[in-house]
Structure 1
Amino acid sequence: MNKMTNFQLFSITFIYQLGTTIIFGFGGQAGRDAWIGQLLSICLGLLVILMNIALMRMNPGLTLVQWFPAQLGRWIGTPIAFFYPLLFLYSAGRIIADIRDMISTALLPNTPLIVVTAIFTAIIAYCVYEGIAGVSRLGELFFPIVLILFCTEVVLLAGSGVLHFRNLLPPLEHGWGPVWKTVYPSGITQTFGETIILAMFWPEAKNTNKVMKITVFATLLSGIVITCFDVLAILVFGNMFSGFLYPLYTLLSVISIGQFIENIQMFGALYFLMTALLKSVVLMFAAVKGLQQLTKIKSYRVLILPACAISLLLGMTMSRNIAEHIYRHHFEIFVPYIWVPMLLILPTLLLIVTWFRRLAK
């Protein structure tokens, strides 16, 4: 199996962390203080990521799903480890549902949704079939495009004269309460806690001793980009920022320079499709690879089509509309009852057990 270069690991980490946050925005409930919540989330999220990297170093050469059997034993660790590939399949299904909803509401409202989602899922399957090399090349390809689009958007917004710095004032008008609600649990788990999935890739890095430096730098960059998007949306829309379903997509509609450069929401569509695709590919690869390692199947490729079919079915049926998909399923159920235990509590407990076992030796 080909090993990932430092740049490939950096690119995958950066774009995976941007994910769908780049189009849905972050921390809308904090209003004009959303950017403060994002900065705090970066700081606390880095601690979570460093905890996961510590687990990697305590379990050299092992992936995420192999940590639990190695430290908790076969009968306890293996059943716990099985939950992670299932989580990744479900998360891939959620992104397919994101694609379904955005295509139907903002891009191609008259296009049959099954056609769009099936094509998207087929692309995921093809990329995963190419293995770690295919995933790595995809990240390497998308990284400069995303950065160029981001810089272009900032320049165009500045040139349109729609940025009003008074919209940032006064900071913390309603105190720290709304800010903290954006930080925990969704701010820490979304983007940063989710990075635990890359523990399925870290053993395949050419220089595993540089994983921490690469991951921390990529996390800082992705966090700053998301913060910049929040600031731009607030500068343009003020507190109305929290009322938009796709604030970063809507942001592009206000760009107007010389009545020539206008309505360039295609940038938003490109952002969303590229980051959503890479994140889906990472999730699907981690799911089938994890299932292969736990079941001892010779090749993960035999699992790709069934896994993609399950995620497609989930994506088409898990919610009736986007409001139910985001507000009910994500914020009320998925984040507190699935993400918090699996991305924060279980890794913390595993770190404690691993540390005590090392002390006992």
Structure 2
Amino acid sequence: MQKISAYQLFTITFIFQLGTTIIFGFGGTAGREAWIAELISCSLGVILILIFTALMRMNPGLSLVEWFPAQLGRWIGTPIAFLYPLLFLYTVGRVVADIRDMVSTTILNNTPLLLITGLFVIIIAYCVYGGALIIARLGEIFFPIVILIFSIEIILLFSSGVMHIRNIQPVMEHGFRPIWNVVYPAGITQPFGETLALAMIWPLSKTPSKVMKITILSTLLSGIMIACLDIFVISVFGGVFSRFLYPLYTLLSLISVGKFIENLQMFGVLYFLMTALLKGAIYMYAALKGVQQLTKLKSYHALMIPGCIIAWLLGMTMSKNIAEHIYYHHFKILVPYVWVPLFIILPTVLLLVAWFRQFKK
């Protein structure tokens, strides 16, 4: 059985949590207080992580979809567990749609969408076919690149003179409500609630005792990084940054050092492609592995082709444009009616059931 190291688990968790948030920005509706909303979301996200890892410890050696039958019985637990692979596969389709919209509106305007999304799904399939170890090695490669690009961005932004700290003020001009509206439910569930998908990989860790510490550390690091990116964007654009669909991409277009280092939007696209690829691969692996475990198949490889075709079709057809994709499907439907029950309510209920069963014993 393939086993992944503590460092590999840290890198894939960190990049998974950055995901598409790094390019879409976080908490635009909170205006200048978006960075505060991110820090609060991260703090509450740590509590969710503690719930997830507590369930892992109470179900040693079992993956996410095996927790429910183990605690609730086969007839109740199995149907509930099936909801998670379905959600993960749907989310791969959302990532494909993100790539479809981002790449086609920024760098490849005239490239057929079929080619963009098809190539992306093929790359995901190649990574997933190799198993969790290949995905973990991909995280090892991407992590230093993401940190290096982030460091270069900070240096170039300060050198360009486009950042003004006064744009961050006044703080909490409209009170706490706009901040909380960002924090719950969307801020907590994305990306921190989504970390539950990694519970399909946690049993493969070489050091299960360190999973909680590693996941919390990566959660704090990703939360701080997203908050810093919000601060950078706000210090340049002020509260109007919420009007930008891709604030990081727009921010990088303003970098100009000596009229020599300019037009660095490609950094933003590179960020997005790396984090989206790893996130899509993890979700696809979690979906296929979940179905395999619930149906007692010998291998998930037989599910690769139908799974990738479904994800590609979802990505191409789930929305007509980026506005419908994000503001309607995501915030109006997915977050309140799917993510909250599956990422917050069901794990909490399952933890209470597991505690009660242990107490009875």
TM-score band, normalised by the shorter chain?
A: over 0.9
Counterpart of 1:191 in 2: which secondary structure? Answer: helix
Aligned to 2:253: 253
Q: How does 1:281-360 map to 2 (within 5 A)?
A: 281-360=281-360
The alpha-carbon deviation at position 277 of structure 1 amounts to 0.0
Aligned to 2:120: 120
Q: Shift of residue 200 of structure 1?
A: 0.5
| Cross-structure match for 1:176 | 176
- Please state whether the residue corresponding to 2:349 is helix, strand or coil: helix
Q: Does structure 1 residue 42 correspond to structure 2 residue 42?
A: yes
Q: For residues 11-65 of structure 1, give each alpha carbon's deviation from its aligned partner in whole angstroms, at most 9, with x where no partner exists.
A: 0000000000000000000000000000100110100010000000000000000
Q: How does 1:211-290 map to 2 (within 5 A)?
A: 211-290=211-290
Q: What SS does the aligned partner of 2:253 have?
A: helix
Question: How far apart are residue 240 of structure 1 and its match?
Answer: 1.2
1:185 alignment counterpart: 185
TM-score with structure 2 setting the length? 1.00
1:57 aligns with 2:72: no
SS of aligned partner of 1:192: helix
The structural deviation recorded for 1:107 is 1.6
User: 2:94 corresponds to which letter in structure 1?
Assistant: R
- Cα shift readout 1:306-347 (whole Å, capped 9, x = no counterpart): 101100000000000000000000000000000000000000
Q: Which residue of 2 aligns with 1:136?
A: 136
Q: Is 320-329 or 132-141 further displaced after alignment?
A: 132-141
The percentage of counterpart residues that share the same residue type is 66
Equivalent position amino acid for 1:257 in 2: V
* Matched residue, 2:100: 100
Q: Determine the C-alpha separation between the residues in 1 that align with 2:355 and 2:292.
A: 28
Structure 1 residue matching 2:163: 3-state secondary structure: coil
Count residues in correspondence. 361
- State the one-letter code of the partner of 2:77: G
Query: Structure 1 length normalisation: TM-score?
Result: 1.00
Any idea what SS the aligned residue of 1:170 has? coil
Report SS of the residue matched to 1:190.
helix
Structure 2 residue matching 1:62: 3-state secondary structure: coil
> How far 1:106 moved relative to its partner?
1.4
Q: How far does residue 173 in structure 1 lie from its aligned partner after superposition?
A: 0.1
Q: CA deviation at 1:132?
A: 1.3
After TM superposition, give the deviation of residue 109 of structure 1 in Å: 1.1
Residue ranges of structure 1 left out of the alignment (5+ in a row): none
Q: Does 1:166 align with 2:166?
A: yes
AA aligned to 1:24 is F
The SS at the match of 1:166 is: helix
Paired amino acid for 1:78 = T
Which deviations, in whole Å up to 9, do the C-alpha atoms of 1:63-108 show, x marking residues without a partner? 0000000000000000000000000000000000000011221121
**What code does the residue aligned with 1:284 have?**
M
Q: State the SS of the aligned residue for 2:191.
A: coil
Deviation at 1:202, TM superposition (A): 0.7
Structure 2 distance, partners of 1:181, 1:106, is: 30
Q: Distance in 1 between matches of 2:352 and 2:198?
A: 21
Q: Which residue of 2 aligns with 1:209?
A: 209
Uncovered stretches (5+) of structure 2, i.e. residues with no partner: none
CA RMSD between the two structures: 0.5
Greater than 2 Å deviation, 4+ residue runs: none
Deviation at 1:2, TM superposition (A): 1.8
Quick check: 1:87 aligned with 2:87? yes
Distance (Å, rounded) in 1 between the aligned partners of 2:132 and 2:190: 24
The separation in 1 between residues aligned to 2:214 and 2:305, in whole angstroms, is 32
Q: Distance in 1 between matches of 2:57 and 2:72?
A: 17
C-alpha separation in 2, matches of 1:114 and 1:228: 35
Partner of 2:16: 16
Letter in 2 for 1:4: I
